[in-house]
Structure 1
Amino acid sequence: MKIAIAGGSGFVGTALIDELLKENHDLYILTRHPEKYKKQPRLQYIGWLTENAKPEEQLAGLDGFINLAGESLNDGRWTPERKRRIVESRIDACKEMNRILSTLPNKVSVIINASAIGYYGISDKDAFIESSESIGDDFLARTVKLWEKEAAKSRAYSNRLVLTRFGVILGENGGALPMMVLPYKLFGGGRLGKGNQWLSWIHIQDVVRAISFCISDQGTEGPVNFTAPTPVQMDAFGKTIGTVMHRPHWFPVPPFILKTALGEMSMMVLEGQKVLPAKLKEEGFTFTFPSLKEALQAILKKDSHV
């Protein structure tokens, strides 16, 4: 397939490119700085979101579009300016995707648009699947709703639209895990906040395999939860890190410290939701890492000696 990817230089994007190249797809990576990259077999970099950029001129015959673009949630405090950029970067990327698709003579087979489980809102008790209504009115919930609303317009240009609601993605080279592991490396790991908040996680390998699955599985569309089938509470998550790394789990961090240090962004570790991958399981997707311990052992093997 001929597939365009926006946001291909990020944590998920770089892993996804490797996966899709192994499957012999032809990839066209949309970036503001295509000059930084060399053309490779089955891999081209095309300019977008800059003055005079016309990526559609190189995308004739496109089969699929994967939109992962948007400013990271993890890069600093959520100041009013950062919150504005977080929202606008996602909306602008969706608008440009739709503009590009509207110029193509034929509909694409599938659009994969990134989203997040923040859609559902915060709860210590409820479990959410794709058909669950949102109970959230916090910044993340509002952002995801705006994001998905704009992405939904792309349905006019495709046979299928998949909204990948990502949970907390675990990997060695990005995402939240490196910072969560650091206190354990320093023998200072422990419970974050009250400890009973849910963490709906997924291994990066399962993320890229699930995206590939959604591309090829014609029955998969609409919101799809990208979470492992075994979410855990935060205290159990920390204990598992300690077990895998052979480090103590003993130094609790009170909520007020995290709120002081991180501001509103602290909700990403102090609050959570239990989200289950109902659609992926119904469609027959098999997780490589269904359990947290297996996932952490694979990622942290250098530290854990397993």
Structure 2
Amino acid sequence: MKIAIAGGSGFVGTALIDELLKENHDLYILTRHPEKYKKQPKLQYIRWLTKNAKPEDHLAGLDAFINLAGESLNDGRWTPERKRRIVESRVDACKEMNRILSSLPNKISVIINASAIGYYGISDKDTFTETSESVGDDFLARTVKLWEKEAAKSRPYSNRLVLTRFGVILGESGGALPMMVLPYKFFGGGKIGKGNQWLSWIHVQDVVRAISFCINEQRMEGPINFTAPAPVQMDAFGKTIGAVMHRPHWFPVPPFILKSVLGERSILVLEGQNVLPAKLIEQGFTFTFPSLKEALQASLKKESHV
């Protein structure tokens, strides 16, 4: 298949490129700086989101468009300017995706647009599946709703639109895990906040395998929760990190400390939601890492042997 990927240089994007190359697809990576990358067999880098860029000239016969583009949530405090960039980077990427697709002569098979479980809002007691309505009006919930609204405008240009609502993605090379593991490296890990907030996680290898599954499985459409089938509460998550790294789980971190250090971004660890991957399970997707201990052992191989 001929597949375009926007946001291919990030944590998920680089893992996805490796996975799709193994499957022998022709990949076209949309980037502001294609000159940074060397052209390889089955892999080309194309300029987009810059003046006079016309990526559509390279995308005739496209089968799938995967949009992962957007400024990271995990870097820096959420100042008003940074929050603006977080939202605009996602909305603008969707607008450019739609412009590109509208210029192609034929509909493509599938669009896969990144989204997030932040859509559902935060709750200690509710369990969410793809049929659940949002209960949230926090920054993350509002951002995801704007993101998905713009992505929905792509429906006329493809046979299917998949909205991948990512949970907390675990992996050794990026995402939120390095920040969460850091206190344990210095024997200072412990309960974060009240400890009963839910963490709906997924290993990055299951993310890229599930994206491939959605490309090939015609029944996958609409919002799809990309979370493992066994969410855990934050205190259990920390205890599992401690066990895998052979470190104590003893030093509690009160909410006010995280709020003072991270500001509004502290919501990423102080709040959460219990989200289940109902559609993936119904359609027979099998998780490589269904349990948290297995996922952390794979993600923390170096630390677990210290």
Q: What interval of TM-score do these two structures reach, taking the shorter chain for normalisation?
A: over 0.9
SS at match of 1:109: strand
Aligned length: 306
For 1:260, the equivalent position in structure 2 comes to: 260
Task: State the TM-score, normalized to the length of structure 2.
Answer: 0.99
Aligned-residue offset at 1:298: 1.1
SS at match of 2:219: coil
Q: Deviations over 1:161-200 (max 9, x none)?
A: 0000000000000000011111101000001000000000
Cα distance in 2 for residues equivalent to 1:119 and 1:172:
26
Aligned-residue offset at 1:60: 0.4
For 2:190, the equivalent position in structure 1 comes to: 190
Aligned-residue offset at 1:103: 0.3
For 1:200, the equivalent position in structure 2 comes to: 200
For 1:179, the equivalent position in structure 2 comes to: 179
Cα distance in 2 for residues equivalent to 1:22 and 1:85:
34
SS at match of 2:136: coil
For 1:269, the equivalent position in structure 2 comes to: 269
1:29 aligns with 2:29: yes
SS at match of 1:149: helix
Aligned-residue offset at 1:304: 1.4
Aligned-residue offset at 1:303: 1.7
For 1:290, the equivalent position in structure 2 comes to: 290
For 2:144, the equivalent position in structure 1 comes to: 144
Aligned-residue offset at 1:25: 0.3
Q: Deviations over 1:213-242 (max 9, x none)?
A: 000000000000000000000000000000
Cα distance in 2 for residues equivalent to 1:174 and 1:85:
20
For 2:53, the equivalent position in structure 1 comes to: 53
Cα distance in 2 for residues equivalent to 1:143 and 1:164:
15
Aligned-residue offset at 1:305: 2.8
RMSD: 0.7
Counterpart AA for 1:287:
F
For 1:112, the equivalent position in structure 2 comes to: 112
> How does 1:1-306 map onto structure 2 within 5 Å?
1-305=1-305
Cα distance in 1 for residues equivalent to 2:131 and 2:252:
35
SS at match of 2:122: coil
SS at match of 1:93: helix
Counterpart AA for 1:168:
V
SS at match of 2:5: strand
Task: State the TM-score, normalized to the length of structure 1.
Answer: 0.99
Cα distance in 1 for residues equivalent to 2:70 and 2:301:
31
Counterpart AA for 2:93:
A
Q: Deviations over 1:61-89 (max 9, x none)?
A: 00000000000001100000000000000
Cα distance in 2 for residues equivalent to 1:268 and 1:60:
40
Cα distance in 1 for residues equivalent to 2:299 and 2:49:
34
Counterpart AA for 1:173:
S
Cα distance in 2 for residues equivalent to 1:294 and 1:10:
24
Aligned-residue offset at 1:36: 0.7
Aligned-residue offset at 1:299: 1.2
SS at match of 2:223: strand
Cα distance in 1 for residues equivalent to 2:283 and 2:301:
31
Q: Deviations over 1:25-72 (max 9, x none)?
A: 000000000011111000000000000000000000000000000000
Cα distance in 2 for residues equivalent to 1:38 and 1:199:
38
Cα distance in 1 for residues equivalent to 2:181 and 2:151:
34
Counterpart AA for 1:222:
G
Superposition misfits of 4+ residues, deviation over 4 angstroms? none
Counterpart AA for 1:29:
I
Cα distance in 1 for residues equivalent to 2:2 and 2:304:
40
Unaligned 5+ segments in structure 1 are none
Cα distance in 2 for residues equivalent to 1:104 and 1:59:
8
SS at match of 1:27: strand
Unaligned 5+ segments in structure 2 are none
Q: Deviations over 1:85-126 (max 9, x none)?
A: 000000000000000000000000000000000000000000
Q: Deviations over 1:112-152 (max 9, x none)?
A: 00000000000000000000000000000000000000000
Cα distance in 1 for residues equivalent to 2:297 and 2:83:
34
